[in-house]
Amino acid sequence: MKAAALFAAVGVLSALVGFSSQKASAPEWTVIIGGQTDGYLSPCGCTKPMSGGIRRRVSAIRQLATGNALILDSGGLAVGAGPQDEMKADALAEALVSAKADAVLLSGADAVLGVANLSSLTTRLDGRLLSTSVTASDRLPLVPSVAKGPFAVGGVLVNPSAFRALGETVRDPAEAAEAFVAELSPGAVPVLLTDGGKDAAVDLAEKNPELRLIVFRQTGEPLTAPIKVGKTLLVTVGEQGKHVLRFKLDAGALTEYRAIRLGQEYDDDPKVAVIHQAYLRRVADAGLLEALPRTVTDRYVGSEACLPCHTQEHAIWKGSRHSSALATLEADGHQRDPDCVSCHVVGLDSESGFRSREKTPTLSDVGCESCHGPGERHSREPKRFPFKKVGEDSCTGCHRGSTSPNFDFLTYWKKIQHGPVENQGISSGHEEIKKTR
């Protein structure tokens, strides 16, 4: 009896030791956060290397999400209500399903899509479209929170009024956050996605100290390190889907924060590349480029019409990247994409401007008239109809901060400089560029 009791006691002790060991070595988790796509399904810009795009994002997620992983998207399915916006939202939803995202925030901006389109997206996302602010209904079957492993994830809209206008039942931000916290299970690691800015996130953190992570919206780059409010970490993925964030969960705390730029080191994910190409075909088949509004202007004649009188200037243009601007879109299938084409051709907004490479070959690429304006009258009577003065403003319509973050007029003008410059009135806004020949 004593021996049996001893063996039983040893067995119980061994079981307890095993339980303690298992508890101490809890499984490792990785948290990956993307989002703020806002219509940028592809990398966009004139400055190399470009960053972002859903193909690279999913490729990065697959590399980072080894073992146990929580994959979140901080929203930005739509920025407008047009046909292309709907196509983008569909493609993005498919990509996020392919990436096995666990939750996708419904943002206030998504209301522009309307209930019917959003209902379709909830089906596409298969139970991943998240909102603690907008009450789920038969016509909009959202999920109020998502639980996975040790995590609980909620989604709060800072201004849900757009959904109220659609007839949905909504909570204000404070009420939604409190409702999420009230439903937490003991020991859960609560994460809150929100479409508000840093100030709103700080306010939510101060009022709900139980939260461990809040993801907010911000233009520009992600933070170099999380903002700490008590025990709550505040982060943002930055604009245009150019980054993902990664955390590790260690003993209930989120550690090893990294903001990862989606650069050329990430190959396009093959499955999402198929989704992206299907999206581009939809855009082309719908004739969205042809449907763009156009105005009546003087007639565009193309850069070759400038050659007889402006031989040197034409040679400078021909040797620049401007002269092959459309080819960069064709290489990635965006040559019929209204979002892209205007900065790669001549006069897209004019009745006499670019239509297609086949129909208007002389207006393909960025040409003389992209800066100087329609040239028919000038080509006929140059002294009577001189070209308009051009300057930095002629460049910044396309070379703007989000697409050319390193653009500096004085630096880049030297690459295409032609003259006589002072007769063109070219000025940087700071100092006149002197005549060089």
Q: For 295-388, CATH number?
A: 1.10.1130.10
Nearest CA-CA partner of 110 in 90, 127, 96: 90
CA distance 57 to 60: 5
Res. 377 pLDDT band, cuts 50 70 90: very high
pLDDT, residue 63, reads: 97
Q: Look at residue 434 in the predicted model and tell me its pLDDT.
A: 31
In 3D space, the residue among 350, 335, 241 whose CA is nearest the CA of residue 288 turns out to be 335
* pLDDT tens, position by position, 237-271: 999 999 999 999 988 899 999 999 999 999 999 99
Helix (H, G, I), strand (E, B) or coil at 161: helix
Least trusted range by pLDDT, from 28-32, 61-65, 88-92, 378-382: 378-382
In this prediction, residue 390 carries a pLDDT of: 82
**pLDDT tops 90 at residue 142:** yes
- Boundaries of every domain in the chain: 27-280, 295-388
Which strand ranges, in their side-by-side order, compose the sheet holding 232-235? 145-148, 151-156, 189-194, 213-215, 232-235, 227-229
Please tell me which of 9-18, 170-179, 397-406, 407-416 the model is most confident about, judged by mean pLDDT: 170-179
The fraction of the chain above a pLDDT of 70, given in percent, is 89
What is the rounded distance in angstroms from the CA atom of residue 278 to the CA atom of residue 272? 10
Q: Which of 9-23, 195-209, 295-309 has the lowest mean pLDDT?
A: 9-23
pLDDT band at 412 (very low <50, low <70, confident <90, very high): confident
Predicted confidence at residue 417, as pLDDT, reads 84
How high is the mean pLDDT of the chain?
Answer: 89
Mean pLDDT in residue range 141-169: 96
| pLDDT at 433 > cutoff 60 | no
Instruction: Select from 2.60.40.1730, 3.60.21.10, 3.10.129.10, 3.40.50.1240 the CATH code of 27-280.
Output: 3.60.21.10
Question: Does the pLDDT of residue 430 top 60, yes or no?
Answer: no
Torsion sign, CA atoms 214, 217, 223, 229: negative
Alpha-carbon distance values, 169 to 78, 194, 265, 374 (Å): 21, 18, 44, 53
Model confidence at 166, pLDDT cuts 50, 70, 90, reads: very high
- Per-residue confidence at 25, pLDDT binned at 50, 70, 90? low
Tokens for 397, please give them. 């319509």
> pLDDT tens, 350-373?
999 999 999 999 999 999 999 999
Answer whether the bond into residue 190 is a cis peptide, omega within 30°. Answer: no
C-beta separation of 268 from 331 below 8 A: no
Q: What CA–CA distance (Å, rounded) separates 296 from 283?
A: 25
Amino acid (one-letter) located at 414 = K
Please tell me the distance from the alpha carbon of residue 353 to that of residue 346, in angstroms, as a whole number. Answer: 6
What is the DSSP code string of 51-100? Answer: ---HHHHHHHHHHH--SEEEEEE-----S--SHHHHHHHHHHHHHHHHTT
